[in-house]
Protein backbone atom coordinates (compact mmCIF):
# COMPACT_ATOMS: atom_id res chain seq x y z
CA UNK A 1 0.00 0.00 0.00
CA UNK A 2 2.75 2.45 0.96
CA UNK A 3 6.36 2.29 -0.07
CA UNK A 4 8.75 4.97 1.17
CA UNK A 5 12.26 4.85 -0.24
CA UNK A 6 15.21 6.97 0.79
CA UNK A 7 12.99 9.90 1.77
CA UNK A 8 14.75 13.18 2.49
CA UNK A 9 12.67 16.16 3.57
CA UNK A 10 13.40 19.64 4.87
CA UNK A 11 11.51 22.42 6.55
CA UNK A 12 12.80 26.00 6.27
CA UNK A 13 15.91 24.66 4.55
CA UNK A 14 16.77 22.34 7.44
CA UNK A 15 16.88 18.66 6.57
CA UNK A 16 14.84 16.58 9.02
CA UNK A 17 14.28 13.28 7.21
CA UNK A 18 17.56 11.83 5.98
CA UNK A 19 16.91 8.72 3.98
CA UNK A 20 13.86 7.08 5.48
CA UNK A 21 12.57 3.72 4.24
CA UNK A 22 9.24 2.22 5.24
CA UNK A 23 6.94 -0.35 3.73
CA UNK A 24 3.30 -0.76 4.80
CA UNK A 25 0.83 -3.35 3.51
CA UNK A 26 -2.97 -3.51 3.78
CA UNK A 27 -4.23 -4.80 7.13
CA UNK A 28 -1.10 -3.76 8.99
CA UNK A 29 -0.71 -1.49 11.98
CA UNK A 30 2.68 0.17 12.29
CA UNK A 31 3.97 2.21 15.19
CA UNK A 32 6.60 4.83 14.45
CA UNK A 33 8.27 5.85 17.68
CA UNK A 34 11.18 8.05 18.50
CA UNK A 35 12.50 10.85 20.67
CA UNK A 36 11.51 14.49 20.19
CA UNK A 37 13.02 15.97 17.06
CA UNK A 38 13.65 12.62 15.42
CA UNK A 39 11.35 13.52 12.50
CA UNK A 40 8.10 11.74 13.44
CA UNK A 41 5.78 14.67 12.82
CA UNK A 42 7.74 15.66 9.72
CA UNK A 43 7.04 12.24 8.27
CA UNK A 44 3.31 12.68 8.97
CA UNK A 45 3.21 16.18 7.43
CA UNK A 46 5.22 15.13 4.36
CA UNK A 47 2.85 12.24 3.70
CA UNK A 48 -0.14 14.60 3.95
CA UNK A 49 1.54 17.09 1.60
CA UNK A 50 1.97 20.08 3.90
CA UNK A 51 3.35 22.94 1.75
CA UNK A 52 5.97 23.96 4.34
CA UNK A 53 7.82 20.65 3.97
CA UNK A 54 10.01 20.10 0.92
CA UNK A 55 10.96 16.64 -0.23
CA UNK A 56 14.53 16.87 -1.49
CA UNK A 57 15.15 13.23 -2.37
CA UNK A 58 13.53 9.83 -2.49
CA UNK A 59 10.06 8.57 -3.38
CA UNK A 60 6.72 7.71 -1.86
CA UNK A 61 4.56 5.23 -3.72
CA UNK A 62 0.97 5.02 -2.47
CA UNK A 63 -1.36 2.47 -4.08
CA UNK A 64 1.01 2.29 -7.02
CA UNK A 65 1.03 6.07 -7.60
CA UNK A 66 3.68 8.69 -6.96
CA UNK A 67 2.19 10.32 -3.89
CA UNK A 68 4.57 13.28 -3.93
CA UNK A 69 3.03 14.52 -7.17
CA UNK A 70 -0.46 14.63 -5.68
CA UNK A 71 -2.03 17.70 -4.05
CA UNK A 72 -3.00 17.31 -0.37
CA UNK A 73 -6.74 17.21 -1.16
CA UNK A 74 -6.15 14.64 -3.90
CA UNK A 75 -4.23 12.40 -1.47
CA UNK A 76 -7.19 12.59 0.91
CA UNK A 77 -9.68 11.67 -1.80
CA UNK A 78 -7.42 8.73 -2.67
CA UNK A 79 -7.99 7.44 0.85
CA UNK A 80 -5.11 8.94 2.80
CA UNK A 81 -5.91 10.42 6.20
CA UNK A 82 -3.85 12.34 8.73
CA UNK A 83 -5.10 12.74 12.28
CA UNK A 84 -3.48 16.00 13.36
CA UNK A 85 -1.39 16.38 16.45
CA UNK A 86 -2.90 19.85 16.87
CA UNK A 87 -6.32 19.91 15.15
CA UNK A 88 -7.30 23.32 13.73
CA UNK A 89 -10.31 25.28 15.03
CA UNK A 90 -12.68 26.59 12.36
CA UNK A 91 -15.14 29.09 13.88
CA UNK A 92 -18.45 29.45 12.08
CA UNK A 93 -18.26 26.10 10.27
CA UNK A 94 -20.19 23.28 11.88
CA UNK A 95 -18.71 19.83 12.19
CA UNK A 96 -21.66 18.54 10.18
CA UNK A 97 -21.15 20.93 7.24
CA UNK A 98 -17.41 20.40 7.24
CA UNK A 99 -17.59 16.63 7.36
CA UNK A 100 -20.40 16.38 4.85
CA UNK A 101 -18.45 18.47 2.39
CA UNK A 102 -15.38 16.26 2.91
CA UNK A 103 -17.45 13.10 2.64
CA UNK A 104 -19.19 14.24 -0.54
CA UNK A 105 -15.95 15.35 -2.20
CA UNK A 106 -14.63 11.85 -1.70
CA UNK A 107 -17.89 10.21 -2.77
CA UNK A 108 -17.96 12.31 -5.95
CA UNK A 109 -14.34 11.35 -6.65
CA UNK A 110 -15.14 7.67 -6.25
CA UNK A 111 -18.30 7.97 -8.34
CA UNK A 112 -20.59 7.24 -5.42
CA UNK A 113 -23.78 9.16 -4.58
CA UNK A 114 -23.42 12.29 -2.48
CA UNK A 115 -25.42 12.47 0.73
CA UNK A 116 -27.94 15.19 1.52
CA UNK A 117 -27.98 16.72 5.02
CA UNK A 118 -30.53 14.24 6.34
CA UNK A 119 -28.79 11.16 4.97
CA UNK A 120 -25.48 12.45 6.27
CA UNK A 121 -26.99 13.07 9.69
CA UNK A 122 -27.87 9.36 9.90
CA UNK A 123 -24.33 8.39 8.97
CA UNK A 124 -22.62 10.71 11.41
CA UNK A 125 -24.92 9.73 14.28
CA UNK A 126 -23.94 6.14 13.67
CA UNK A 127 -20.21 6.86 13.45
CA UNK A 128 -20.08 9.21 16.41
CA UNK A 129 -20.75 6.25 18.71
CA UNK A 130 -17.29 4.94 17.85
CA UNK A 131 -15.71 7.84 19.73
CA UNK A 132 -18.42 8.03 22.41
CA UNK A 133 -19.16 11.69 21.65
CA UNK A 134 -22.50 13.37 22.21
CA UNK A 135 -24.59 14.10 19.14
CA UNK A 136 -24.44 17.81 19.99
CA UNK A 137 -20.81 17.86 18.79
CA UNK A 138 -22.10 17.52 15.24
CA UNK A 139 -23.55 21.01 15.22
CA UNK A 140 -20.73 22.79 17.01
CA UNK A 141 -18.08 24.69 15.09
CA UNK A 142 -15.18 22.47 14.11
CA UNK A 143 -12.94 22.05 17.18
CA UNK A 144 -13.88 25.49 18.50
CA UNK A 145 -13.87 25.45 22.28
CA UNK A 146 -13.17 21.70 22.31
CA UNK A 147 -10.90 20.34 25.03
CA UNK A 148 -7.68 18.62 23.95
CA UNK A 149 -9.29 15.22 24.33
CA UNK A 150 -12.41 16.27 22.40
CA UNK A 151 -10.27 17.50 19.52
CA UNK A 152 -8.47 14.16 19.30
CA UNK A 153 -11.77 12.28 19.44
CA UNK A 154 -13.07 14.55 16.70
CA UNK A 155 -10.10 13.52 14.55
CA UNK A 156 -11.03 9.88 15.02
CA UNK A 157 -14.67 10.73 14.21
CA UNK A 158 -13.49 12.27 10.93
CA UNK A 159 -11.49 9.12 10.25
CA UNK A 160 -14.60 7.04 10.94
CA UNK A 161 -16.66 9.12 8.48
CA UNK A 162 -14.06 9.26 5.71
CA UNK A 163 -13.08 5.58 6.03
CA UNK A 164 -9.47 5.92 4.82
CA UNK A 165 -7.31 3.22 3.29
CA UNK A 166 -4.21 4.55 5.00
CA UNK A 167 -4.37 6.59 8.19
CA UNK A 168 -1.46 8.29 9.91
CA UNK A 169 -2.24 9.24 13.49
CA UNK A 170 0.20 11.91 14.63
CA UNK A 171 0.64 11.84 18.42
CA UNK A 172 -3.07 11.16 18.79
CA UNK A 173 -2.40 9.92 22.32
CA UNK A 174 -0.48 12.93 23.58
CA UNK A 175 -2.19 14.95 26.26
CA UNK A 176 -5.07 12.49 26.74
CA UNK A 177 -6.25 11.39 30.15
CA UNK A 178 -6.82 7.70 30.76
CA UNK A 179 -10.51 7.71 29.73
CA UNK A 180 -9.90 9.66 26.55
CA UNK A 181 -6.94 7.44 25.72
CA UNK A 182 -9.13 4.35 26.07
CA UNK A 183 -11.92 5.85 23.94
CA UNK A 184 -9.54 6.97 21.20
CA UNK A 185 -7.73 3.61 21.20
CA UNK A 186 -11.02 1.68 21.07
CA UNK A 187 -12.11 3.85 18.17
CA UNK A 188 -8.91 3.16 16.26
CA UNK A 189 -9.21 -0.58 16.90
CA UNK A 190 -12.77 -0.57 15.55
CA UNK A 191 -11.58 1.21 12.41
CA UNK A 192 -8.63 -1.12 11.76
CA UNK A 193 -9.70 -3.60 9.08
CA UNK A 194 -8.20 -6.26 6.86
CA UNK A 195 -7.77 -4.00 3.88
CA UNK A 196 -6.68 -0.72 5.45
CA UNK A 197 -3.48 0.28 7.16
CA UNK A 198 -2.69 2.49 10.13
CA UNK A 199 0.54 4.22 11.11
CA UNK A 200 0.63 5.34 14.73
CA UNK A 201 3.17 8.07 15.29
CA UNK A 202 3.89 8.33 18.99
CA UNK A 203 6.47 9.24 21.55
CA UNK A 204 5.14 6.95 24.26
CA UNK A 205 4.53 3.27 24.49
CA UNK A 206 1.27 3.63 26.46
CA UNK A 207 -1.02 3.78 23.39
CA UNK A 208 0.39 0.40 22.40
CA UNK A 209 -1.11 -1.09 25.56
CA UNK A 210 -4.46 -0.62 23.84
CA UNK A 211 -3.57 -1.03 20.18
CA UNK A 212 -1.38 -3.91 19.19
CA UNK A 213 0.92 -3.01 16.30
CA UNK A 214 2.30 -5.56 13.89
CA UNK A 215 5.49 -3.56 13.49
CA UNK A 216 7.33 -1.03 15.59
CA UNK A 217 9.91 1.31 14.08
CA UNK A 218 12.23 3.61 15.92
CA UNK A 219 12.95 6.86 14.15
CA UNK A 220 16.22 8.54 15.04
CA UNK A 221 17.93 11.47 13.33
CA UNK A 222 15.64 11.24 10.31
CA UNK A 223 16.07 7.54 9.65
CA UNK A 224 14.50 4.30 10.83
CA UNK A 225 17.16 3.18 13.32
CA UNK A 226 15.50 -0.06 14.35
CA UNK A 227 12.45 -2.11 13.36
CA UNK A 228 10.84 -5.04 15.10
CA UNK A 229 7.62 -6.45 16.51
CA UNK A 230 5.61 -5.13 19.45
CA UNK A 231 8.33 -6.38 21.83
CA UNK A 232 10.52 -3.55 20.54
CA UNK A 233 8.10 -1.07 22.11
CA UNK A 234 8.47 -2.87 25.45
CA UNK A 235 12.22 -2.75 25.12
CA UNK A 236 12.06 1.00 24.45
CA UNK A 237 9.82 1.44 27.47
CA UNK A 238 12.38 -0.33 29.67
CA UNK A 239 15.59 1.05 28.23
CA UNK A 240 14.51 4.49 26.99
CA UNK A 241 15.53 6.16 23.71
CA UNK A 242 19.16 6.52 24.88
CA UNK A 243 19.55 2.86 24.14
CA UNK A 244 18.82 3.54 20.45
CA UNK A 245 21.06 6.56 20.46
CA UNK A 246 24.02 4.44 21.61
CA UNK A 247 23.08 1.42 19.48
CA UNK A 248 22.74 3.90 16.65
CA UNK A 249 22.77 1.67 13.58
CA UNK A 250 20.03 0.35 11.38
CA UNK A 251 18.98 -3.20 11.99
Partner 1 sequence: MLHVAREKENYFSADQLFATSREDKGPQWLIQLREKAGEHYSQTDFPSTHDEEWKYTNVAPILKVPYRQCFELDLQNLAPDSIIPLGFEELSGSQLVFVNGLFVSELSNLSSLPGEITAGNIGEVSGGSSRIVRDHLGVYADYHDHAFTALNTALAGDGAFIYVPKGKVVETPIHILFISRADEPVASHPRILVVADEGSILTIIESYISLGDQVYFTNAVAEVFAGRGSVITHYRMQEESVRAFHIATTEVFQESDSNYTSYAISLGGEISRHDLNIVLSGEHIETTINGLYVVDGKQHVDNHTVLDHLHPHCRSQQLYKGILDGKSRAVFNGKVFVREGALLTDAHQLNKNLLLSNEATVNTKPQLEIFADDVKCAHGATVGQLEDEELFYLASRGIPPERARALLTYGFAEDVISKIKLRSVRERLDRKVLDKLHQSLEVG
Q: Is 68 in the site for partner 1 (CB under 8 A)?
A: no
Q: How many CB atoms lie within 10 A of CB 110?
A: 10
Residue from 109, 204, 241, 243 binding partner 1 (CB under 8 A): 109
Tell me the per-residue interface mask from 144 to 183 with partner 1, x by CB under 8 A, - otherwise.
Answer: --------------x---x---------------------
Q: Quick check: 69 binds partner 1 (CB under 8 A)?
A: no
User: Does residue number 77 form part of the binding site for partner 1 (CB under 8 A)?
Assistant: yes
Question: How far is it, in rounded angstroms, from Cα 176 to Cα 194?
Answer: 28
Per DSSP, helices labelled H in 117-248 are: 117-127, 148-162, 178-191, 230-239, 242-247
Tell me if 82 contacts partner 1 by CB under 8 A: yes
51 lies in the site for partner 1, by CB under 8 A: yes
Question: Closest distance between partner 1 and the C-beta of residue 91, in Å?
Answer: 5
Shortest reach from residue 99's CB to partner 1, in Å: 8
CB atoms inside a 10 Å sphere around CB 157: 23
Cα–Cα distance measured from residue 211 to residue 182, given in angstroms and rounded to the nearest whole number: 10
Cβ atoms of residues 249 and 223 within 8 Å: no
In the complex with partner 1, the residue whose CB is nearer, 81 or 220, is 81
- List phi, psi (to 5°) of 31: -115, 125
What CA–CA distance (Å, rounded) separates 104 from 107?
A: 5
76 binds partner 1 (CB under 8 A): yes
Binding of partner 1 at residue 93 (CB under 8 A)?
A: yes
**What H or E segment, with its residue span, contains residue 62?**
strand 53-62
- Identified binder of partner 1 from the candidate list 54, 97, 174, 189, rule CB under 8 A: 97
**Of 63 and 90, CB closest to partner 1:** 90
Distances (CA, A) of 88 to 115, 152, 154, 227: 25, 11, 11, 32
- Encode 191-217: b = buried (16+ Cβ within 10 Å), e = exposed: bbeeebbbbbbbbebebbeebebebbb
**Of 34, 39, 49, 58, the one binding partner 1 by CB under 8 A:** 49
71 binds partner 1 (CB under 8 A): yes
Least distance from partner 1 to the Cβ atom of residue 72, Å: 4
CA distance 228 to 234: 11
Which of 63, 68, 70, 90 contacts partner 1 by CB under 8 A?
A: 90
Question: Mapping DSSP to helix (H, G, I), strand (E, B) and coil, where does residue 33 land?
Answer: strand
Closest separation between CB of residue 23 and partner 1, Å?
Answer: 23
In the complex, minimum distance from the CB of residue 226 to partner 1, in angstroms, rounded to a whole number: 29
Q: Which positions touch partner 1 (CB under 8 A)?
A: 48-51, 71-73, 75-77, 81-82, 84, 87-88, 90-93, 97-99, 101-102, 105-106, 109, 117, 141, 158, 162
Amino acid sequence: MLEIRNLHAAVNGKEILKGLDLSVKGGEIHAVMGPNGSGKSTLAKVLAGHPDYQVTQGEVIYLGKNMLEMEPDERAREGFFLAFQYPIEIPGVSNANFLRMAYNEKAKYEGRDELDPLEFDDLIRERIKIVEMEASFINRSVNEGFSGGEKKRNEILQMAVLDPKLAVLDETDSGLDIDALRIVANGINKLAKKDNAIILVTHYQRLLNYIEPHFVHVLFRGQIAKSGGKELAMELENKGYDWIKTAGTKS
